[in-house]
Structure 1
């Protein structure tokens, strides 16, 4: 593997790695949709497999041999992409990472798809409403990939699945499960649920309500197309979302436990309501 050795922190190609916040990467100059940072071999490999265009690849001396096969794949697909190898001390100086566990790479953000396009061929979709914990977002995507969810829709106030903590927790599945934003306002249901209905979906809001169906109710399994809406911990779903949904659904529990966090709840719901 022919790395390019970089020894100066002033090299302009290192700029995206220089302790730049994810939000600032998303608005990176000269990138049509911004950049995102892929940390770990799993996330980088998923981005490469998805055909996402890389801006550059960076690895410390200590991890260069381990990362060489991945860098070779990237370079074979995009020969003009810089694959840079830097001394360990410089890697830490530039990135601020005190513990290094492998390579990082900057990728161009893919343009978001029209939700109607993702819904057209889907049978099971998830909607993440207002979820603010990146690890939970990543875990929900991992469950979606594992249990055959066709697409994930995130509401305007849900945090970004491509931010590094979410993509890392997802093991790269945020680049394997199709996703996009739904709605323009935080109270997205007035716009988003009619869109789901127009695409032929019944909408199931996971919420603790007196009228909630149990997750195993045959009405849910019988739905040809089903959208499962999961909310943030604590506040749960907006009342407007629950009111506009076709079903309110709860996961039956024992021992006085009333709820699971959204990561665990998504895995249970996706498995139970998967296409059989």
Structure 2
């Protein structure tokens, strides 16, 4: 159960007009396990290990050997969530999962997080797609669909045992939320995707949850087919100081798609030789 085919590219950026994110590498993951696929979320604290979540319930571990450009796929003893699990977040000692049908959030031991009244109003296959947690254990989530092409996406925050709506994310273009994470900088990063006849497109935006009125900054917008169906996002800091964004794709268990692990680095953190290795 190993990586198949990869592309490595590390750029040194010195100009003030560089793109906010720099492409680093991608892997295509294959496994002889019939239940490996449909990956919808990823969690990473460092560059050598990850937990990925299938939307059919199973959790898998990834052990990354960056020097050899290989990935070993394994299973985890962590409790598995229910089917239709879309988001994954980890606090100090707890995994949390978000679901689309019905919209809800649960802890790894099955404990249900109290629901916001809005969650019951979202359509099937359009509910809580993205989930993130900050260093204080606060949870953030947002739906895949807002209910209207010009209606913004509400960003829900759970802290102190209560929900509120932190902010709204403007709905622009064909993109829909797919994943989220809190970076080492404390900012909320949101991965979005769009399907076109030529393939999937991806977009990443970020905002400061402490000053939500400042709006969202676009860091990445890919062309159609650049990557597969990227759904999960994990942000971590390398030993050399680079902020790295690792994403995983959902192949929908279809032969025409691939399970892809894709990495970008925050360009502003690549000074003085910092890398995602």
TM-score (norm 1): 0.26
Q: Radius of gyration: which is bigger?
A: 1
Higher normalized helix content (fraction of residues): 1
The normalised TM-score by structure 2 is 0.26
